A and B are shown apart, each in its own frame.
Chain A
Amino acid sequence: MADSTTQPAAVKSDDGRPVVLVIDDSQDVHRLLRARLKQEEVELIPAMSGAEGIKLATKYMPAAILLDIDMPGMDGFEVLRTLKDDPATLHLPVIILSGQQSAQDKVTAFELGSVDYITKPFEFTELRVRLRSVLRTHRLMQLLSQRAQLDGLTGLWNRLFFDSRWADEVSRNQRHARPLSVALLDVDHFKSVNDTYGHPAGDAVLQGVAKVLQRECRQSDVACRYGGEEFVIVMPDTSAADGAKVCDRIRAALEEISWPRHPERKITASFGIAGASGASALTPAAWVEAADRNLYAAKKGGRNRVVSSDVTAQTNLRAAS
């Protein structure tokens, strides 16, 4: 379930209640469910057809989907197949609603990946407890999958999360030509901190850097631990120049810190940024390579600095010179 190809789904509505998508061609069913689930802490989103349901599932990433089988046009099984074929919606829990009592339909529903099956007309108490159980499992799955994507030492997102999130951001940049930047941060002379003050001091530095990142990054930035003493920041809607400003703020804040374990020794970091103001043809890996080259240049240039470049016009073959 720790689906490495998607970020943790947005399963809460604005007021914090889990979103439950109901896909049924009957207005009566929507009305009934609204009345019957009024007391539950859920927000119901109605879809009147399979096609609309799939669209809304992708949009809301609901915590559960109640899906009718017998619908004109695209039937429930087809909707289920479509949802399970798309990596973005594959993990959404689907409860089948059906007037059919046939064992074969139930078998088909479970084989296609539904998590539960309720027959109509509903026994509403049963519906409520089944829905609750599905929501509970889903919430735990989400927690687990989030845990698997967090770095244990720093509490930042880990490399696994970065890889999937970064791929998403790059494809968004290509589709919508929105600005995008990625920054690599490497702690300067980290090995000598470890060697001089011991590994606990090194760990404290990494945790301190993470704290600065969390404080200085903007809401939309995604800071991850890339590995060792390297960090990576995904900066959506940010050009290379703007990304450089953010990183310089982080750089300055880091330099200011006084470290209890070694007050005499400041910690600095070097930054390499690759950014685009419009659509870039670079692959996710080529972006990171471009940022890495800038990081190398920052190190070579004397460390404690930010080097950025615009990769909007670059191609994968000659990603940078």
Chain B
Amino acid sequence: MAADSSSSSPIKSEFASDPDMADLVAEFVGELGSRTQSLQEALSQSKFADLQRLSHQLKGACGGYGFPSLGEAAAKLEASLKKNASEPQAAALDDISRQVNELVDLCRRATT
């Protein structure tokens, strides 16, 4: 379950103390900003295929870098997008926007 979205506490990678992973996690966290920006752009331009691809990539990556709560949020978003194919209805669209914002918020809180 994603952490509650009102919280603003930082989310640490599960691998924060793993010396093998420290550099990689730092690099990943550093890139998260541009990734969330791409998510928001895809949403505002209604590019749902892009949005699905981005969320799919984030799903795998977040889990792999030790951020399972981010991975779950990305997985939920991807699943909603898959269900609604290319043109989500208004209700689904609200849901998707909300999920994007949740994911973006979680990503902002990610830290090494």
Contacts and interface: CB of A to CB of B under 8 A. Distances in A.
Given A28-B57, A99-B75, A120 B63 contact: yes
22 contacts: A26-B57, A26-B61, A28-B28, A28-B57, A28-B60, A28-B61, A29-B60, A31-B24, A31-B27, A32-B24, A35-B21, A35-B24, A70-B56, A99-B59, A99-B63, A99-B75, A120-B60, A120-B64, A121-B62, A121-B63, A121-B64, A121-B71
A72 interface: yes
Contacts of B20: 35-36, 38
Interface of A: 25-26, 28-29, 31-32, 35-36, 38, 70, 72, 99, 120-122
B47 interface: no
Nearest to A36: B20
Interface string B47-74: 0000001001101111111001001000
The 4 closest A-B pairs by CB, nearest first: A121-B63, A28-B61, A32-B64, A121-B64
Give chain A's interface secondary structure class.
loop
A292 B64 CA distance: 61
A31 B28 CA distance: 10
Contacts of A38: 20
A43 B62 CA distance: 25
Interface of B: 20-21, 24, 27-28, 53, 56-57, 59-65, 68, 71, 75
Contacts of B28: 28
B60 A99 contact: yes
Give chain B's interface secondary structure class.
helix
Nearest to A97: B60
Nearest to A28: B61
B71 to A, nearest CB: 6
Nearest to B21: A35
A72 B68 contact: no
A28 B25 CA distance: 10
Contacts of B56: 70
Which interface residue of A26, A28, A31, A70 has the most chain B CB atoms within 10 A? A28
A28 B65 contact: yes
A25 B62 CA distance: 15
Contacts of B64: 28-29, 32, 120-122
A31 B60 CA distance: 12
B75 to A, nearest CB: 7
Contacts of B60: 26, 28-29, 99, 120-121
Nearest to B62: A121
Nearest to B24: A35
A26 B61 CA distance: 8
A213 to B, nearest CB: 50
Contacts of A121: 60, 62-64, 68, 71
Contacts of B57: 25-26, 28
B45 to A, nearest CB: 19
B6 to A, nearest CB: 26
